[in-house]
Structure 1
Amino acid sequence: MSSSIRRLTALGFRSYRFLSLDMWRLRPEGLSSTRRYGVATLRVLYMTILSYIEQGIGTLAGSLTYSTALSIVPMLAVIIGIAKGFGLQEIVRDALIQGLPGHEVELAKAFTYVENYLAQVQGGLFIGVGLAVLFYTVLMLISTIEDSFNRLWQAPSARPWGRRIMGYLSAFLLLPLLMTISSATTIFLSTLNHTYLSQLGLISTVTNQLLQLLPFAILIILFTLLYLLIPNVRVRFVPALIAGVIAGLAFQCFQALYINGVLWISKYNAIYGSFAAVPLALLWTQLSWVIILLGAQISYAVQHVWYFTTPPLSGRLSRRYEDLILISVAATTARLFAEGYRPLPEATTLAERSRLPLRETQEALLRLLRMGVLAEVRTLQHGAEQVGYQPALPLDRLTLGYLLELHDRGGEEVLPLELDGRHESVWQLRRQLYRPLFRSAAQLRICDIDLDT
């Protein structure tokens, strides 16, 4: 019995050490493909769970639930109003009902409110004010969604309002058309299956399976586009697709649980009576946003899986390791600039070239920006703002001694210390210790530091 406990204790200790330390030291180049995918999966799970706690995804989902509750009728009004312009309002309504099973009663009430809302906006003295409030409410909701995605992706900045408005209007114009195409495709396949293919046996069975999978496929495409387009950073397709598949599967499972949860729905009916739809709708919205935001975090973790270090170690770096990271990032940036590397390197590029964790690289870049050693250059690429880095000084002035001296002087020196007596002696001793270091490194340009040896 005691030997079994010892083995379990040893196994638990090894597992804890691997998850908290050893796993983060592994590099993909030294791993087999199977182990590489296994380690990457563990890293993504670890960082997603940790980010759920640190980034406050539950709180973000709560704020988005509140914004959605305020904006749902204006948003439906915009979608249906645009669909009316194309004569597609009935198709859009049917698509919404089919896409949100179990919410027919809520949608029917919402459509009634939308009709009243549109009637108020289209007529009367305050038509201009009504339209302004309508679009403002919708823009604020989508802007909140974008800001949440940017926060999870650690985007350097949000899109300018001009680009936001143009992008949102384009999305609202395309949404009714896409819903119509999706509905028409479903109807076409269903009609084809019940007429021409019903006599072909196996082909008809396959078509039935495809029709059942079609809503799931549409959901995956929708989530993938969200994760690909909303953050104001360049998101690669594969991480967005992986997150889209996971979020789509989670959303489908949640929908099935929600629809088939008859017992606890009946309990809510007993408590709330005719108002039971309100807490249930809020619960559904809250959990839906949790799934969507977790998908965004998964896409971020997948894209940066080999740049992570375990966060608890970030605050325990020694002074010499801080110097090492600072010099490595500055030297890599200066060398790439001297070699004419274009476009200017981003934080991920510098982390990869320096073989440093992404978080520590970003912190070093912030310090170098504050010191005036580096400058950031913002450019627009692939519809997203990219932040590149280059030296802020001529390369001949940017020496190792200059960098170390700036780093040594960084921060505030405002303590009320009189440089006489004991403080004067300590101050002079420190200067005597550090002055030879700065002088000996004053002739070495950081762009000449060879990081490959």
Structure 2
Amino acid sequence: MDKTLNKFVAQHLWSEAVLDYPWWRRYLIIAARYLYVVLDDLAKGELTLRAMSLVYTSLLSLVPLMAVSFSVLKAFGMHNKQLEPVLLQFLAPMGEKGVEITSQVIGFIDNVKISVLGSFGIALLFYTAISLIQKIESTFNYIWRLDQHRSIGRRFADYGSVMLIGPLLVFTAIGLSARVLSGGLADEMTTMVPFLAHLRELAAKLTPYLMIVAAFTFFYMFIPNTQVKLRAGMVAGLVSGVLFQSLGWGFGSVVVSATDSGPYVIYSGFAILILFMMWMYISWLILLVGSSIAFYVQHPEYVVPARRSGDLSISQQEDLALQIMALMAQRYYEGKRPMTSTEYVARLRVQIQGVTRVLRALRLAGLVVEDASEPPRYLPNAPLENVNLKQVLDAVRSEGASAALVRRRPRPGVSGVKEIRENIDRAIASALEGTSVRDLALGKDEERPNSAASQ
């Protein structure tokens, strides 16, 4: 077993004896496995490092992001003061200092006059705001083991719609919920049925928490450049919402309430800034931990004590490439819809890094091509009866290769290595001679289905 958080705990959680446990105990072990892998990721330090990076980016981009986002509210007759309850709820763990920070942020946003910035100033304001979301996407893509990011056009389209339409939807939802809970119809119903008064009071208390869970769920489903299942997003949103409220209560009770000691004595006038940065760091870390939970819920093949990097040996990549090409050919000849990378992961039960790397190698070799859908689906880019299996193996074996260093005085290679390589290549070519991808998928003696002729 590779180096991991705690080998003794890992051996117990992933022991074969778990299969003989009662069902309730197996579920507890499964939940403990998810907790273990998340804590292991935290212990490695990458999530905490990225959370600190996002704190710094947030300090630079917070006011421009809110200025752009809530400028659209003014067009609908809303004022930035209506942003105040949302900020107060986010900064509630900071107590009175949260109120002070909220008023300062609102003042900064009020002082930003987009109409007098000019075209260059508006473009710079949008770029600063979008850069924060781009940084978040990059972090989420790292957690989700994704190499491909959104294109420039998609970034402006997706992020711009969120910044301009998102605040309007949020405040509309808040306004509707407040109107429903405090409207005349609700008063009449609670008067006729006294029991509904307790439900109304409970709903009023739960609404802020449900809003937080919904916001986290939206982040987990929208930000990663992949299709996130609703179940994964909701589980992560619920866990993150509970963590946010619990740690917020602890932060307010332990750190902020220590008025005569702690940061107030050490940092004096800078205490409010230090507390704000500390809470920002905790909030970003909660968001990233929730994203990690969503990833593991959607990809349970990564819930292992070690080797979650997804690296594959050359032999494993070759096997995976042959399986992908065979599946692609089978679906092509059967007239079925092409598969996405996520569908290949689910079908072959492999980790997503291996699938994306092999698909990239096949695409660069000209054997497959992406369609225009989102997420992209993969189609054959050449007649499958003309694609030899050795071409498939060569595609993954040469992927990522770098050119040799150019020297003024070339040095001779180690004697015998080139000849051995040539012998290996000839042996592979001889073994695979006359075997195409179509033969692998359908069998050499099977005729092509009629559906292929129609295509």
> Shorter-normalised TM-score: what interval?
0.7 to 0.9
Report the Cα offset of residue 238 of structure 1.
1.1
Is this contact kept in 1: 2:311–2:353, CA < 8 A?
no
Aligned partner of 1:400 among 363, 385, 389:
389
Alignment of 1:288-299 (within 5 A): 288-299=283-294
Aligned to 2:339, what secondary structure does the other structure show? coil
Report the Cα offset of residue 78 of structure 1.
3.0
Report the Cα offset of residue 214 of structure 1.
0.9
Is this contact kept in 2: 1:374–1:389, CA < 8 A?
no
Report the Cα offset of residue 143 of structure 1.
2.3
Separation in 2, partners of 1:355, 1:315:
12
Separation in 1, partners of 2:140, 2:205:
31
Alignment of 1:113-124 (within 5 A): 113-118=108-113, 121-123=114-116
Match of 1:189 in 2: 181
Change in Cα spacing, 1:84 to 1:430, as seen in structure 2 (3 Å) is closer
Match of 1:63 in 2: 53
Report the Cα offset of residue 46 of structure 1.
4.1
Report the Cα offset of residue 229 of structure 1.
1.6
Is this contact kept in 1: 2:329–2:441, CA < 8 A?
no
Alignment of 1:157-176 (within 5 A): 157-171=148-162, 172-176=164-168
Unaligned 5+ runs, structure 1: 1-11
Aligned to 1:390, what secondary structure does the other structure show? strand
Alignment of 1:49-448 (within 5 A): 49-52=39-42, 56-89=46-79, 90-101=81-92, 102=95, 103-118=98-113, 121-123=114-116, 127-171=118-162, 172-183=164-175, 185-186=177-178, 188-190=180-182, 197=190, 201-261=194-254, 262-264=256-258, 266=260, 267-306=262-301, 311-312=306-307, 320-342=315-337, 344-369=338-363, 372=365, 374-381=367-374, 386-404=375-393, 411=401, 423-424=415-416, 435-448=426-439
Separation in 1, partners of 2:121, 2:48:
33
Report the Cα offset of residue 157 of structure 1.
2.9
Unaligned 5+ runs, structure 2: 1-5, 444-455
When structure 1 is superposed on structure 2, of 325-334 and 30-39 the one drifting more is 30-39
Q: What amino acid sits opposite 1:164 in the alignment?
A: R
Change in Cα spacing, 1:274 to 1:212, as seen in structure 2 (3 Å) is same
TM-score, normalised to structure 2, is 0.77
Is this contact kept in 2: 1:223–1:247, CA < 8 A?
yes
Aligned length in residues: 424
Q: What amino acid sits opposite 1:293 in the alignment?
A: L
Change in Cα spacing, 1:59 to 1:201, as seen in structure 2 (3 Å) is same
Change in Cα spacing, 1:71 to 1:406, as seen in structure 2 (3 Å) is closer
Aligned to 1:380, what secondary structure does the other structure show? coil
TM-score, normalised to structure 1, is 0.78
Separation in 2, partners of 1:62, 1:236:
28
Aligned to 2:383, what secondary structure does the other structure show? coil
Q: What amino acid sits opposite 2:352 in the alignment?
A: L
Report the Cα offset of residue 199 of structure 1.
8.6
Deviation per CA, 1:303-355: give whole Å up to 9, x if none.
Answer: 1114666653878977655543343333333333333331x222232233334
Q: What amino acid sits opposite 1:145 in the alignment?
A: I
Report the Cα offset of residue 13 of structure 1.
7.3
Deviation per CA, 1:332-379: give whole Å up to 9, x if none.
Answer: 33333333331x222232233334343433444344445x26324042
Is this contact kept in 2: 1:351–1:358, CA < 8 A?
yes
